[in-house]
Chain A
Amino acid sequence: MLQIDLWKRVLIWGVVALGLVLALPNAFYTRVEVHNDAMAAIELGADTPENQEKSAAWPTFLPSRLVNLGLDLRGGAHLLAEVKVADVYQTRLESFWPEVRDALRPERATVGTIRLQPSPPDELRVRISQPEGMTRAVELVRGLARPVVTLTGAGATDLDVRADGSDIVVTLSEAEKAATDERTMRQSLEIIRRRIDEVGTREPTIQRQGFDRILIQVPGIGSAAELKEIIGTTAQLTFQPVVGRAADAGAPAGAGNEVLPSLDEEGVFYILEQAPVVTGEDLVDAQPSFDQNGRPAVNFRFNPSGGRKFGDYTAENIGNPFAIVLDDEVISAPVIQSHIPGGSGIITGNFTVEESTNLAILLRAGALPAGLEFLEERTIGPELGQDSIDAGKVATLVAFVAVLVYMALSYGLFGLFANVALILNIALLFGMLSLIGATLTLPGIAGIVLTVGMAVDANVLVFERIREELKTAKGPARAIELGYEKALSAIVDANITTFITATILFVMGSGPVRGFAITLGLGILTSVFTAIFVTRLLIVIWFERRRPKTIEV
């Protein structure tokens, strides 16, 4: 009567063995971590004997994936940033002004003089002196609009142009705004990811959340402020023609020019043409290096179009100074000595080695397209994390032992079977957490504790049922079989309802809630598996060997 096919037995033991192997690295956490770090370093080219030795600490044929420890356990920084996507509209419209000017210039006879007007950030206002020519002017500017490539906005163009008295008002169309927002978000994510990667910390989480937010979690970093410094620096690099020098920031600059301070010379200001020759967006590489005097400097290289612009400009302006501007400060304003073809150059300034390295990183990672506003920041110190881990470990261990003892006392031999299954259950849970790279948080530990409770419940349901069936005395084998059969619907219903709540928690929740939902949800899967299959298999094997006439549950 009590039979389980051989292939099923093999499958069950197979799953258990797989789970144990996957969970194994977590038992040697530090050692595996050292191994993983060394392997990563070797992959990046740091193939030193030291790293080789470290990587040998854990055999490569064994799995090496670990459960990620959450920030609350490891310490680290958490930031939730909102990308101010609307910032980009202004830049887009500003860059459009030269085009408008060039398009209207040939039509001076009908539109008169063309002047840029001050306007709110999301529109471009151009005044023409002969409003009679407005129809023609609007037509011309409209002609500059380009189609937007989106999935939904087929046929839409990127600009809305209208006349307002003697002003032509240009705004971005809704379709273009949506497309721009999407681009801005992707770019911001990419740039933040690159900047954090450059610092080389372990397992950062960088995720888009909702429409315009980015969640950044970096374990092991000292504080959220430090993290903000890494990602928040804009590093907007431009090369601008120099008009002159001035002694104060209020110096008259003239139309189309701006006054910017010098980075290292106190009280020196430069008057620059606003439109840059080349911007940092054309950069393809930047490396820290040293100039001919042995001082720290940064080497850079442009892409072909940037290189051509840079080459043409230097050829035409030999003997004139031009300014290298970083984040609205003039790093240096060297005089162009000769034509610089090939699109590479060097930035020198009063840098320390560290500064030049940081500058190279910032340049390489590019500028953030829009400003960030930080909505949430959390720093958890490593000591607090360690305290939490220690407390969590002790508590889990005590909880575990208490449950094991209680089960053994209540159900005797069957309780021992349940205990074996419970231990395997926790191992399986850790195996699965490692496999999917889930993060273990403090509430996650609570989730594991609850899993212990739930796992026991499935066994309790079965055992209680077997007890009941024994009373109607159909023989032990039949009682066991009926016990499992009849308890199944209660186990399934109870666990599915809990699983539903875990899923909702996972989808809706963030941070600690999500960490809890993961362990609870996976714990339900593993506990149903161990309760229905593993304990049953253990009981069947025992029953086959002993063939008891009576059983006591």
Chain B
Amino acid sequence: MRLKLVPDETNFDFFGRPKLWLGISVFLILLSFGSFLIQGLNYGIDFRGGTTIRTESAQPVDVGAYRDALNALELGDVLISEVFDPTFGPDQNVAMVRIQAQEGEEAVTPELITAAQAALATVAPDIQFVSVESVGPKVSGELIRTAALAVALAIGAVLVYIWLRFEWQFALGAVVALVHDVVLTIGIFSELQIRFDLAIIAALLTIVGYSLNDTVVVFDRVRENLIRYKSRPLKEVLNLSINETLSRTFMTSVTTLLALIALFVLGGDVIRGFVFAMIWGVVVGTYSSIFVASTFLLWLGVKRDWTTTGDGGAGTQFADVDA
């Protein structure tokens, strides 16, 4: 007997309550924007500049004592947090110390790092600095610009690709879904104040890729069904296509989630934020390819006669792989 999460034949009406789905999405997007505007993102040093020191000691971390030791140095904003992780050994007490970029410094200040390390060593003599990372303000500004540019470029590039392979309505639908996913992901990072650094940008772009993957598979089926059922209303064709690809959508999402959850639980605290972003992205991406991308396609309407090569042949000219 086969394991089946989705029955062979499904006949859900995905467009029966468009206002509900739209409402959920709009609500979450507004929430994301609100959270972003009010509390902003918890930028890591990649984007903000400054220094993070990861300490490890056999003694339990005493955040107050660490803070007192560092306050004497007058480093400005210092953030100390203890790190818990199930993969740590019994005498592994880890803390993260984050020191803001110093005023008027364009580059990294080595004296500051040495001073901070010496101060911490007075509190916990056996302390080890397992990682020290410092980013100057000059670079951090550039990193955030390049990152934003990378996300924009990626979205632009897939827009063009789908436009060439399908029709502009498909491209627009897919891109709206993508922007939806990216906004919601940034939103949850802002809401939960998870550290937002360079690796998260990698995760964001993966979400772009994954969500697109889903959307494209659905669209591919829509295109096929549009040719097959020339006279059925667009809404029905879309519904049918989503139902037909539903078991695949779930199958793939579940396998990817299985892998990601394993990484989330067992992969250690260093990449947890990164993996969390991807898990969220897979869930949101699956949702958006069904409810956002297709709804948009329905609204925009799409040319029905795909067989003519006359004036409207633009969408099919690169699409003869599946002939």
Let me know if A387 and B87 touch, CB within 8 A. Answer: yes
**CB contact list, A482-498 vs B, under 8 A:** 486, 488-490, 492-498
Confirm or deny: B176 has a beta carbon within 8 angstroms of a beta carbon on chain A. no
Confirm or deny: A500 has a beta carbon within 8 angstroms of a beta carbon on chain B. yes
CB contacts (< 8 Å) of A411 on chain B: these are 2
Confirm or deny: A236 has a beta carbon within 8 angstroms of a beta carbon on chain B. no
Let me know if A504 and B150 touch, CB within 8 A. Answer: yes
Query: Do A454 and B213 contact each other (CB < 8 Å), given the known contacts A379-B131, A406-B3, A504-B154?
Result: yes
CA gap between A459 and B268 in the complex, in Å? 30
Let me know if B161 and A453 touch, CB within 8 A. Answer: no
CA gap between A82 and B146 in the complex, in Å? 18
CB contacts (< 8 Å) of B266 on chain A: these are 391, 394-395, 398
Most chain B CB atoms below 10 A, which of A72, A400, A516:
A516
Which listed residue, A377, A501, A508, touches B133 by the CB 8 Å rule? A377
Most chain A CB atoms below 10 A, which of B130, B135, B161:
B130
CB contacts (< 8 Å) of A501 on chain B: these are 154, 157-158, 205-206, 208-209, 212
Let me know if A512 and B259 touch, CB within 8 A. Answer: no
**Segment from A239-247, A301-309, A444-452 that makes contact with B:** A444-452
Let me know if B321 and A492 touch, CB within 8 A. Answer: yes
CB contacts (< 8 Å) of A513 on chain B: these are 150, 198-199, 201-202, 205
CB contacts (< 8 Å) of A379 on chain B: these are 129, 131-133
Let me know if B136 and A381 touch, CB within 8 A. Answer: no
Residue of A nearest to B247 (CB): A464
CA gap between A402 and B221 in the complex, in Å? 29
How far is the CB of A500 from the nearest CB of chain B, in Å?
5
CA gap between A379 and B129 in the complex, in Å? 9
Which listed residue, B4, B130, B162, B259, touches A453 by the CB 8 Å rule? B259
Confirm or deny: A230 has a beta carbon within 8 angstroms of a beta carbon on chain B. no
Let me know if A375 and B3 touch, CB within 8 A. Answer: no
CB contacts (< 8 Å) of B74 on chain A: these are none
Confirm or deny: B16 has a beta carbon within 8 angstroms of a beta carbon on chain A. no
Let me know if A488 and B321 touch, CB within 8 A. Answer: yes
CB contacts (< 8 Å) of B67 on chain A: these are none
Confirm or deny: B58 has a beta carbon within 8 angstroms of a beta carbon on chain A. no
CA gap between A496 and B216 in the complex, in Å? 10
Confirm or deny: B65 has a beta carbon within 8 angstroms of a beta carbon on chain A. no
Query: Do A446 and B271 contact each other (CB < 8 Å), given the known contacts A407-B255, A502-B209, A504-B153?
Result: yes
CA gap between A510 and B221 in the complex, in Å? 37
CB contacts (< 8 Å) of B247 on chain A: these are 464
Confirm or deny: B274 has a beta carbon within 8 angstroms of a beta carbon on chain A. yes
Residue of B nearest to A225 (CB): B110
CA gap between A486 and B227 in the complex, in Å? 14
Confirm or deny: B190 has a beta carbon within 8 angstroms of a beta carbon on chain A. no
Let me know if B270 and A403 touch, CB within 8 A. Answer: no
CB contacts (< 8 Å) of B132 on chain A: these are 223-224, 377-379
Confirm or deny: B262 has a beta carbon within 8 angstroms of a beta carbon on chain A. yes
CB contacts (< 8 Å) of A392 on chain B: these are 267-268
CB contacts (< 8 Å) of A403 on chain B: these are 255, 258-259
CA gap between A490 and B198 in the complex, in Å? 31
Query: Do A406 and B258 contact each other (CB < 8 Å), given the known contacts A225-B110, A394-B266, A464-B248?
Result: yes
Report whether over half of chain B's contact residues are helix, strand or loop; otherwise say mixed.
helix
Let me know if B131 and A490 touch, CB within 8 A. Answer: no
Let me know if B255 and A406 touch, CB within 8 A. Answer: yes
Residue of B nearest to A415 (CB): B2
Interface size, chain A (Cβ < 8 Å)? 79
How far is the CB of A435 from the nearest CB of chain B, in Å?
23
CB contacts (< 8 Å) of B319 on chain A: these are 489
Confirm or deny: A4 has a beta carbon within 8 angstroms of a beta carbon on chain B. no
Let me know if B161 and A500 touch, CB within 8 A. Answer: yes
Let me know if A461 and B131 touch, CB within 8 A. Answer: no
CA gap between A342 and B195 in the complex, in Å? 63
Confirm or deny: B36 has a beta carbon within 8 angstroms of a beta carbon on chain A. no
CB contacts (< 8 Å) of A551 on chain B: these are none
CB contacts (< 8 Å) of A516 on chain B: these are 199, 202, 206
Let me know if B129 and A395 touch, CB within 8 A. Answer: no
Let me know if B206 and A493 touch, CB within 8 A. Answer: no
Query: Do A398 and B108 contact each other (CB < 8 Å), given the known contacts A446-B271, A501-B209, A512-B198?
Result: no
CB contacts (< 8 Å) of A453 on chain B: these are 252, 255-256, 259-260
CA gap between A457 and B286 in the complex, in Å? 13
CB contacts (< 8 Å) of A490 on chain B: these are 216-217, 220-221
CB contacts (< 8 Å) of B165 on chain A: these are 493
Most chain B CB atoms below 10 A, which of A228, A377, A497:
A497
CA gap between A467 and B8 in the complex, in Å? 9
CA gap between A378 and B248 in the complex, in Å? 43
- Would you give 24 A-B contacts (Cβ < 8 Å), ordered by A? A380-B130, A381-B131, A384-B54, A387-B268, A399-B259, A402-B259, A410-B4, A412-B2, A443-B199, A449-B260, A449-B262, A450-B206, A450-B256, A453-B252, A453-B255, A457-B252, A490-B221, A497-B213, A497-B216, A498-B213, A504-B153, A511-B198, A516-B202, A520-B206
Q: Could you list 15 further interchain pairs (A-B, Cβ under 8 angstroms) beyond the known A395-B267, A445-B267, A450-B260?
A: A225-B114, A374-B110, A375-B106, A377-B132, A381-B130, A388-B268, A396-B262, A407-B255, A447-B206, A452-B256, A464-B251, A489-B321, A490-B220, A504-B205, A516-B202
Interface, chain B (partner A; CB < 8 A): 2-4, 8, 54, 56, 87, 106-108, 110, 113-114, 128-136, 138-139, 143, 146-147, 149-150, 153-154, 157-158, 161-162, 165, 198-199, 201-203, 205-206, 208-210, 212-214, 216-217, 220-221, 224, 244-245, 247-248, 251-252, 254-256, 258-260, 262-263, 265-268, 270-271, 274-275, 278, 319, 321-322
**5 smallest beta-carbon distances between A and B, as pairs:** A453-B256, A489-B322, A391-B268, A399-B262, A399-B259
